[in-house]
Structure 1
Amino acid sequence: MEIGDAGVAVADPAIRQKYIEERNKRLRPDGVKQFLKLANSTQFKYLDDDPWVDHAAYNAGAPALNDGDDIKFLVLGAGYGGLLFAVHLIEAGFNAADIRIVDVAGGFGGTWYWNRYPGLMCDVESYIYMPLLEETGYMPRFKYAYGPELREHAERIAKKWGLTDKALFRTHCHTARWDDAAKRWILELTENRGPVEPKKEIKLKAQYVFVASGTLNAPQIPRLPGFDSFKGQHFHTSRWNYEITGGTDVDWTLDKLKDKRVGIIGTGATAVQAVPQLAKWAKHLYVFQRTPSSVDERGQRPTDPAEWTNKIASTKGWQLARSHNFNSFLVNEPIGEDLVDDGWCRTRSYCGVIGAPGIIVPEKIPEHIARLHAYDLERAEKIRARTGEIVKDPETAEKLKHWYPAWCKRPTFHDEYLPAFNLPNVTLVDTDGKGVEALTEEAVVANGTSYPVDVLVLSTGFSLAVEGDSGSTVQRAGMKAFGRDGLDMDDKWIREGPGSLHGVASHDFPNLFFPGPSQTGVTANFTFTLSILASHVANILAEAERRAGQSNKVTVEVTKAAEDEWGGELLKRAAWFAGMRGCTPGYINREGEAGKVTDMQEQMKAARGAPWGEGIVSFTEVLKAWRDEGELRGFQVEANV
């Protein structure tokens, strides 16, 4: 390994060639079509069911919304994103009584409501990941909080801000239409009242709508020949079935697996956490791998109360300052001492997917990509070496090594995943990039070999890219939004490319807001972005209503000029993400399909949906400067009688 200017390791051409070879193994002509559309599947209909909800209790209670209601603020989503929208509205001076929350789940928490698999925890430090810690006065029990604590915190937030009785759960909003005469959104919803009572259709009016349903909400299933004939038990990690495994979502004693052969398909971030728990209990565990994760040390430990009081949470504004500090290390412009001090902060090359200061002109793209690879080399070599040191069998260790840079697949950090492969009851089945071939009545077929399994766990992730994907938040929420003159947001975004101002609102869709994910700044800590965008929108609405006076028909809409200008600014910075085209297939690049686009116009449309190329620190500064102007530049505010 050579060391170049500024102490940066020079990328090894042989390793880059290895990356290309490994990527090419995994490219598939069917792209995102390799996964089933759950809406068209009867076999996996159970993925739409909520295994955690108490329908009888909800049906006996008073609903938070009724057919015909006309409300001021409707928030679609009861996870951290939806809660942050609601909380920031309240903090901006609006009344909690005017807010209603709708979610298809049976409670608060979003992804932490649905995902309850054993081993579940956040992969970003809980002190910055869990929002509103300072405001709630809560100290997380661990540096990386486990799933139950993350769900409890969502409930804590709802209680503190008086939102517990403002939510209508088990309810899906499928259509939103703008009524320009009434200056209201007309929304059609369906409440699922369980297996005993019929579904309830609800029609509402809302002045403002916030779409915050998240991105990790649609489980995806691979198309596998023979799945219909498989007689074993199976479930997806996001709908973990403790009746099959034993244990509960708060007690991971999987005692029903003691005499079972278990297979798990997938080795991404979820499997990295679930595999060690399965390995402790299964008679035998087969781990089916298409693409290995990079697995660095996590360093999990309980929170030290003295350190929390005297150092971490000792000053006003500590959580925001700590978050800014974390972000500064991710964009390679560190501010002071490394407060979080974990693997993320040492992954310099992750800026390849989240951006960093500096605009890359087209002729400098090869140099830019080479620099990113140079940033990544030392980290990647260290992690591959760590794998070899921990996993005792050399052949297994070699197959567990990742061959792609950090910006291509979300890095993982775990202390127990790699050691699990030293257990005699754990077998890695590496498919050399091909994936599982088929299922039979009793087995999983990979590499031409049948592996008998009694229980099959699908750790195959979530659908972040589907055929005809517009990239819009409303599509990800499984709904349609029709703005002025009946304009379909998906049609607009497919035709023109993503269009918004700051990633929060789109022209021709007044009073409709969302937290990206297109056209915003991004970071490894998702909740930070959600919080700054929710605060941004709340400030916009507070100022708009201050200017409008007492009218209850205020409209706030992005102008076409502002939307185009923001799209242009994103395009100027989009070349930063040029390294993504060479990535191994995954959700980040639509299973490799993004690299197949050769039409320049289509490439430019796609580039409009890229994150802010100069990184989250710059994006935060851009929003602050815009707010400091005090002009609501780019928004048209009208107070109608």
Structure 2
Amino acid sequence: MSKEQTGHDTQIDLDVIRERYEAERKKRLKPSGTDQYTFTDGKFAKFADDPYAPEPQPRNARREDLDVLVIGTGIGGIQLAAKLDQSSIGNFLLVDIAADFGGTWYWNRYPGLRCDVESYIYLPFLEETGYVPTERYTRGSEIFAYCQKLGRHFNLYERTLFQTKVTGITWNEDDARWMVTTSRGDELRARFVTTQSGIFGKPQLPGIPGIEDFAGCTFHSARWRYDYTGGGSDGGLDKLADKRVGIVGTGTTALQVVPELAAAAQEVTVFQRTPTAVGVRDNSPTDIEWFKSQPAGWQARRIKTFNALSMGENVDCPVDDGWARFFRRLIGSVATLPPEELSPEGIARAQEIADFAYNADVRARVDEFVRDPQKADLLKAYYRTMCKRPGFSDHYLPVFDLDHVKLVDVSGGIDRITADGVVVNGVEHKLDCLILCTGFELGTTWAHQAGYDVIGRDATKLSDKWSQGLITYHGLFSQGFPNMFFMGLTQTGITINVPQMLQEQADHLTFVIKHCIDNNIRTVDTTSEAEDSWQQTIGAITEARRPFLEACTPGYYNAEGNVGDRRSAIGSGWYLPSTQFFEMWSQWRSAGAFEGLVLEK
């Protein structure tokens, strides 16, 4: 057998650990892939209802001609609107089904919610607003309030239609306008449309028989029922003192929710398919003097160096957290290789060993907090770190040492849900409340996630063109859908710090839109040749990542183990490293040739 010394006082038996990873993967693999989930349509539509806002007040339908319609009022929509305004493009409108700004942070208000990226790089416009985050990893309630603050700061409230769902978008070739209809009877004629259907907003449900039969209270974590639990997103769930609460799912949401439930409920039963690797969070209040001492431009530099570090570049980055320490391990493993081993295979092997060692250390943390050996074994994760979004918490593992917190292994699936509880391996676990921390709809087609279709040139439906996956140029443009731009996880450069990715997109799109407006450009579309070339580029990157993804435990990143499923935006691929992608965009703008696009006067 092959054994390696990692440099972190950990010896790794490569054959043994690879076999364990593969065995754990197979236990959780289902042939149905992402189709194992149920979505908030039809009889399950109630799981997507907004519990935070009253029914919308009647208003007159709007009939407007716009330069830009921005669909979505999450952080990406705010960033784009702010950039448009700063570029003297004022004739725009935002629209969202939510009742306020925030996007992810509007819908997700579960107790214990925090950002898993430093607030100093996650919250945009800190220098512009002068806002000082209260903590290094700030609470969701503070992020939501900050989104509202940005809405006020950039005067966006008066330019936004909330509680308004887009129902259709159709291209009018004669007028070179998009005709957009909404659930409130609006008819909006937009010269340009940007759309970002959201990443963590639309819940997905486990496809478990009987989910609608449960007689107790059941809801998805992204639509938290505080009327039932009491308290708020900062905790204090005082109505659960006599309740038996079950929670399905143990991803990064559960890491934050379970400690709050354990502090409040009579009994908590956690149904776990796959354990999350839980690293140190190490949160702390913001040092006000440090924050105020930062020089001009500090946030942009901090954001850029963190992304470079996460892309494997050995840069001087001031961020020192769980993310940064992991990536420094990978970088360090390559830096110590002798010249004759600096091949792609040698680098991959060195990083694999470093990854194994990191996870061995993370698994060792479990034994520090959980005395029950059966619980401890179930809580240990056996997969490569970036197979899932890593978790960081200083409170999750300790609660499993409490007698009233149970852990049930459902790696083989849940039998069914009854009126009284959840049945696993023939045993019924009685519950009063069932909470579904089962993630978000990221495995379906773009049109299904967005909730509307787009009809472009020659009556071509976007749902048809993208039925088997996204087809774009640079992730933002799709041939046959002129003057429409797609933001989000759409074959662009991907970042751990999502607002950076969205800001790069907002900057790039605003450059294109402003050029078109200033130069009386009627339409902008991509060429089929540019689109085909980009698909080949994305396809090559996706294919290069296939061995890694195929070895991963089922999850978002590998379409629940079915790597060949390209229907979703994630499955359609993205560009890595994003540092290279963003530099390519910068050079593209500097050249001013609008390569790959057709601009019609």
SS of the counterpart of 1:521? coil
Aligned to 1:631: 593
Q: Residue 579 of structure 2: which of 598, 614, 617 is its match?
A: 617
Quote the Cα distance in structure 1 between the aligned partners of 2:47 and 2:357.
Answer: 41
Confirm whether residue 589 of structure 1 aligns to residue 589 of structure 2. no
SS of the counterpart of 2:269? strand
Encode CA deviations 1:21-46: one digit per residue, 9 max, x unaligned.
Answer: 11111111222222213213x2x332
| TM-aligned CA deviation for residue 156 of structure 1 | 1.2
Aligned to 1:306: 289
Aligned to 2:334: none
Letter of the 1:89 partner, please give it.
L
Is the 8 Å Cα contact of residues 5 and 12 (structure 2) preserved in structure 1?
yes
Letter of the 1:29 partner, please give it.
P
Confirm whether residue 464 of structure 1 aligns to residue 442 of structure 2. yes
Letter of the 2:15 partner, please give it.
P
Which one is further off, 580-589 or 176-185? 580-589
Letter of the 2:573 partner, please give it.
A
Distance 1:9 1:480, change over 3 A: farther
Aligned to 1:556: 524
Aligned to 1:76: 71
Quote the Cα distance in structure 1 between the aligned partners of 2:557 and 2:162.
Answer: 30
Quote the Cα distance in structure 2 between the aligned partners of 1:106 and 1:15.
Answer: 48
Alignment of 1:229-308 (within 5 A): 229-249=213-233, 251-308=234-291
| TM-aligned CA deviation for residue 544 of structure 1 | 2.7
Letter of the 2:484 partner, please give it.
L
Q: Residue 102 of structure 1: which of 95, 100, 104 is its match?
A: 95
Letter of the 1:105 partner, please give it.
A
Distance 1:257 1:381, change over 3 A: same
Letter of the 2:427 partner, please give it.
T
Confirm whether residue 547 of structure 1 aligns to residue 519 of structure 2. yes
Encode CA deviations 1:545-604: one digit per residue, 9 max, x unaligned.
Answer: 3333xxxx7212122222222223323433441211221111222212225x7xxxx89x
Distance 1:606 1:213, change over 3 A: closer
| TM-aligned CA deviation for residue 534 of structure 1 | 0.6
Distance 1:607 1:339, change over 3 A: closer
Is the 8 Å Cα contact of residues 176 and 187 (structure 1) preserved in structure 2?
yes
SS of the counterpart of 1:36? strand
Quote the Cα distance in structure 1 between the aligned partners of 2:107 and 2:125.
Answer: 21
SS of the counterpart of 1:375? helix
SS of the counterpart of 2:386? coil
Distance 1:291 1:436, change over 3 A: same
| TM-aligned CA deviation for residue 372 of structure 1 | 4.1
Confirm whether residue 526 of structure 1 aligns to residue 498 of structure 2. yes
SS of the counterpart of 2:218? strand
SS of the counterpart of 1:427? strand
Aligned to 2:339: none
Quote the Cα distance in structure 2 between the aligned partners of 1:441 and 1:321.
Answer: 54
Confirm whether residue 488 of structure 1 aligns to residue 461 of structure 2. yes
Alignment of 1:219-230 (within 5 A): 219-230=203-214
SS of the counterpart of 2:84? helix
Letter of the 2:155 partner, please give it.
G
| TM-aligned CA deviation for residue 52 of structure 1 | 1.3
| TM-aligned CA deviation for residue 11 of structure 1 | 6.9
Quote the Cα distance in structure 2 between the aligned partners of 1:231 and 1:13.
Answer: 48
Encode CA deviations 1:602-637: one digit per residue, 9 max, x unaligned.
Answer: 89x999932113x12111111111111122222222
Aligned to 1:573: 541
Is the 8 Å Cα contact of residues 420 and 431 (structure 2) preserved in structure 1?
yes
Letter of the 1:173 partner, please give it.
V
Is the 8 Å Cα contact of residues 167 and 181 (structure 2) preserved in structure 1?
yes
Letter of the 2:136 partner, please give it.
K
| TM-aligned CA deviation for residue 388 of structure 1 | 1.5
Distance 1:612 1:17, change over 3 A: same
Letter of the 1:26 partner, please give it.
R
Is the 8 Å Cα contact of residues 571 and 607 (structure 1) preserved in structure 2?
no
SS of the counterpart of 2:394? coil
SS of the counterpart of 1:494? coil
Quote the Cα distance in structure 2 between the aligned partners of 1:288 and 1:125.
Answer: 29
Quote the Cα distance in structure 1 between the aligned partners of 2:382 and 2:96.
Answer: 39
CA RMSD of aligned residues (A): 2.5
Quote the Cα distance in structure 2 between the aligned partners of 1:348 and 1:385.
Answer: 19
Encode CA deviations 1:482-535: one digit per residue, 9 max, x unaligned.
Answer: 11111112222336x532222111111111012241311111111110011111
Confirm whether residue 143 of structure 1 aligns to residue 127 of structure 2. no
Alignment of 1:193-208 (within 5 A): 201-208=185-192
Distance 1:365 1:23, change over 3 A: farther
Distance 1:494 1:235, change over 3 A: closer
Letter of the 1:331 partner, please give it.
M
* Identity among equivalent pairs (%): 38
| TM-aligned CA deviation for residue 538 of structure 1 | 0.4
Aligned to 2:310: 330
Is the 8 Å Cα contact of residues 350 and 406 (structure 1) preserved in structure 2?
no
| TM-aligned CA deviation for residue 330 of structure 1 | 0.9
Quote the Cα distance in structure 1 between the aligned partners of 2:417 and 2:508.
Answer: 49
| TM-aligned CA deviation for residue 7 of structure 1 | 12
Confirm whether residue 210 of structure 1 aligns to residue 194 of structure 2. yes
Aligned to 1:410: 389
Letter of the 2:51 partner, please give it.
P
Is the 8 Å Cα contact of residues 264 and 459 (structure 1) preserved in structure 2?
yes
Quote the Cα distance in structure 1 between the aligned partners of 2:46 and 2:433.
Answer: 16
SS of the counterpart of 1:205? strand
Encode CA deviations 1:433-481: one digit per residue, 9 max, x unaligned.
Answer: 1132212221211232221111111111111113xx3xx4x54311111
Is the 8 Å Cα contact of residues 8 and 375 (structure 1) preserved in structure 2?
no
SS of the counterpart of 2:599? strand
Quote the Cα distance in structure 2 between the aligned partners of 1:404 and 1:349.
Answer: 19
The TM-score, its normalising length taken from structure 2, stands at 0.92
Aligned length: 587
Encode CA deviations 1:149-184: one digit per residue, 9 max, x unaligned.
Answer: 111111111111111111111111121111110000
Q: Residue 17 of structure 1: which of 16, 19, 25 is its match?
A: 19
| TM-aligned CA deviation for residue 116 of structure 1 | 0.8
Quote the Cα distance in structure 2 between the aligned partners of 1:246 and 1:13.
Answer: 50
Quote the Cα distance in structure 2 between the aligned partners of 1:23 and 1:77.
Answer: 36
SS of the counterpart of 1:429? strand
| TM-aligned CA deviation for residue 377 of structure 1 | 1.2
Quote the Cα distance in structure 1 between the aligned partners of 2:4 and 2:157.
Answer: 58
Aligned to 2:41: 39
The TM-score, its normalising length taken from structure 1, stands at 0.87
